[in-house]
Amino acid sequence: MSNSDDANKSKEIKEQDIQKLSILRSFKPLLKQLHGHADCFNRTLHYDQYVSLTLLYFFNPILTALRSIQQASTLKNVQSKLGIKRTSMGSLSAASQIFDPELLTPIISELASKVGSLNLDKRLQALDLTVVAVDGTLLKALPKMLWALWLDKDHRAAKIHLEFDILKGTPLRAQVTNANEGEIAKLESALASGKLYCLDAAYAKYSFLDKIIQKSSSFVVRLRDNVSYEIIDEHQLSDADRNAGVEFDRTVWLGSEQKRDNLSRPIRIIQIHYFDERVLSGYKRKSRVSSKKTFRTRSPEHTLLIATDRMDLPAELIGLIYRYRWQIELFFRWFKCILGCQHLLSLSQNGIQIQVYCALIASLLIRLWTGRKPTKRTFEMICLYFQGWATMDELMTHIEGLKIEDQNK
């Protein structure tokens, strides 16, 4: 066997590599409802067992691929704790295409409903709407994944469309499409009442914003600097507004006269000035589209033009809500770099959707176990526990230490 073959072959998983599985018992009752769904082709792999193995993959870095998951299923300790039998590669591959990802959404909703709010501005806790950030991110796909269209035949990617509860720091729902699927179209199909959607400039289509209003929801969205509008009223700024960098607060008719019919009411726009210190330290945002090493250079001086239909909130609070939109970007980084979701376990859209949903479940479980947003250090402690290097007492001591830190802030 060649060196390249050795490198590509998954490391053989041994019993001592996966020692601590009792922590996974907390989600077994949640998955019980999936047990009636079994793999076809006369195989006995049930949906709850497939999800259990996928969650084990996320919580144990020794598992690096689908082959690793299959090897783990042969271990008596894993079989005993997760209630599974030895599983073949064929059964795992078929399961990713057969099982319905949407059966996992009630589990995600149930877990998300149990999560408490983060220690954010108290005024946000008093809002009558759920503050939701919405955005998309790409996962690089293999050339053989023909459904994952993107730029051309040499560039393929899957796109995750995510709704993220800002006040809880938790994912709410996700959809997986090819990379060319538009963010607005996916969110429009899932609009719900009682939400305040916090959106980037890609969502600033006036007819779409009006649909959010018609759904009895609200929005805070960034506008492009060259947007057209007609001023109806100029609002006086408070000291808190000025200290937050607010330059003006206006009620306007948004858009040119030709596009004005796309919005059924006047909108409020707020301009905020801020200084990006990262630029002074050499920070540059790399373009994700070009194959060359091009960068988007920026000045440290910035202005944000933000639109909202909420006329009752202070201008500086609107700016704060938009600033918290960045939490979804941090979650994407956690999702890809820490949980390892850049590595796809399936070639099918259905299988990737299941993997994404399982990753959301894993994130929510960590959030519930620790009482705070998951961090790299906490994730490492959980992984060390699974590998037998950390005891349950040491893991709980770490978690209690995090809670004390939060209380002292």
Q: What is the pLDDT along the chain (409 residues), one digit of tens a residue?
A: 333 333 444 456 555 544 444 555 555 666 777 876 665 555 678 898 899 899 889 888 788 899 999 999 999 888 887 888 888 898 899 889 989 999 999 999 999 999 998 888 889 988 889 999 999 999 998 888 888 888 777 788 999 999 999 999 999 999 999 999 989 999 999 999 999 999 999 999 999 999 999 999 999 999 998 889 999 999 999 999 999 999 999 999 988 777 666 778 899 999 999 876 655 555 555 554 444 444 455 666 788 999 999 999 999 999 999 999 999 999 999 999 888 888 899 999 999 999 999 999 999 988 888 777 777 888 888 888 777 778 878 888 887 787 666 666 6
For residue 276, give Cα distances in angstroms to 130, 183, 190, 320, 330: 29, 27, 34, 16, 17
- pLDDT at position 308 is 97
Q: What is the pLDDT of residue 8?
A: 44
Q: What one-character DSSP code corresponds to residue 155?
A: B
Q: Are strands 170-178 and 157-165 parallel, antiparallel or unpaired?
A: antiparallel
Among candidates 325, 309, 305, which has minimal Cα distance to 213? 309
**pLDDT of 195:** 96
Q: Which amino acid is at 21?
A: L
β-pairing, 195-199 vs 130-140, is parallel
pLDDT at 172: 94
Amino acid at position 33, single letter: Q
Cβ 13 vs Cβ 58: under 8 Å: no
Q: What is the pTM of this model?
A: 0.83
pLDDT at 246: 95
- The answer to whether the beta carbons of residues 52 and 84 sit under 8 Å apart is yes
| pLDDT score at 322 | 95
CA distances from 407 to 94, 124, 203, 366, 403 (A): 47, 19, 37, 19, 6
- Helix H or strand E encompassing 332: helix 326-333
* Tokens 């390892």 belong to residue: 340
Q: How far apart are CA 77 and CA 73, in angstroms?
A: 9
Q: Name the helix (H) or strand (E) containing 231.
A: strand 229-234
Nearest to 77 by CA among 342, 319, 356, 386: 386
Token code pair at residue 46:
């049930």
Q: How far apart are CA 32 and CA 241, in angstroms?
A: 51
- CA torsion, points 59, 61, 62, 66, in degrees to nearest 10? 80
Contact 78, 70 (CB under 8 A): no
The residue ranges of every structural domain in the chain are 9-99, 102-200+325-374, 375-409
Q: Is the dihedral of CA 81, 62, 169, 118 positive or negative?
A: positive
The tokens 């690089």 sit on which residue? 140
DSSP 330: H
Distance between start and end Cα atoms, the chain? 57
Q: Is 362 exposed, middle or buried (0-12, 13-18, 19+ CB in 10 A)?
A: buried
